[in-house]
């Protein structure tokens, strides 16, 4: 098993999208990229901790590749809107890829370059690419949130 961590706006929809992929064993909502230890949702939403709302994906690379996860990441959000996804505005909603290895970093940077060259988006990609330092799992009520609300099965 390997891990990958992505920020693409509010983590509820991101978690649901990754959870449905064959080869994804676990997708958990949480926080990464900030400076406050063990932040709460309220602290992250204040914009003062520096964290991104993220989903940590545990996947089986024999069933799904990191590049396939990246493809899903690009499909589920707009990576050209700095600190914003739809109605959600703030640094905690930034587009971000937190990598666990040099291979993941290279794949992420290659994917961004390919996106830029493709012309798929009119504006430049603003996705932050940084090493994962610490993933903090979000509070339990955020886990499988959309499923709990009857919006995904």
Q: What residue spans define the domains of the chain?
A: 2-148
CA distance 41 to 58: 22
What is the overall mean pLDDT for the chain? 93
CA distance 32 to 130: 10
Residue 30: how many other CB atoms lie within 10 Å: 24
Residue 147: how many other CB atoms lie within 10 Å: 14
pLDDT category at 141 given cuts 50, 70, 90 is confident
pTM: 0.92
Q: Which of 145, 144, 128, 142 is nearest to 41 (CA)?
A: 142
Residue 40: how many other CB atoms lie within 10 Å: 14
User: From 1.10.275.10, 3.40.50.460, 3.40.30.10, 3.30.1060.10, which CATH number describes the 2-148 domain?
Assistant: 3.30.1060.10
Catalytic pick among 8, 10, 107, 112: 10
Average pLDDT over residues 91-103: 97
Q: Which residues pair with 131 in a beta bridge?
A: 99
pLDDT reading at 50 higher than 90: yes
Q: What is residue 82's three-state secondary structure?
A: coil
Q: What is the pLDDT of residues 14-37, one digit of tens each?
A: 999 999 999 999 999 999 999 999
Q: Which of 26, 33, 22, 7 is nearest to 143 (CA)?
A: 26
Active site residue 45: no
Cβ–Cβ under 8 Å, residues 142 and 35 = no
Residue 39, CB-side half-sphere exposure with 13 Å CA sphere: 26
Signed CA dihedral, 107, 128, 95, 116: sign only: negative
């Amino acid at each position: 098993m390997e891990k990958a961590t992505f920020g693409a706006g509010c983590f509820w929809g991101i978690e649901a999208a990754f959870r449905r992929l064959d080869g994804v064993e676990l997708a958990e909502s949480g926080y990464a990229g900030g400076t406050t230890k063990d932040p709460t949702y309220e602290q992250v939403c204040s914009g003062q901790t520096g964290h991104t709302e993220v989903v940590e994906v545990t996947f089986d690379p024999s069933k799904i590749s990191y590049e396939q996860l990246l493809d899903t990441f690009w499909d589920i959000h707009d990576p050209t809107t700095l600190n914003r996804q739809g109605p959600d505005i703030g640094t905690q909603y930034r587009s971000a890829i937190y990598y666990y290895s040099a291979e993941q970093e290279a794949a992420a940077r290659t994917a961004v370059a390919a996106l830029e060259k493709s012309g798929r988006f009119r504006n430049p990609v603003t996705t932050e690419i940084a090493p994962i330092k610490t993933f903090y799992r979000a509070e339990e009520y955020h886990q499988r949130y959309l499923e709990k609300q009857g919006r995904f099965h």
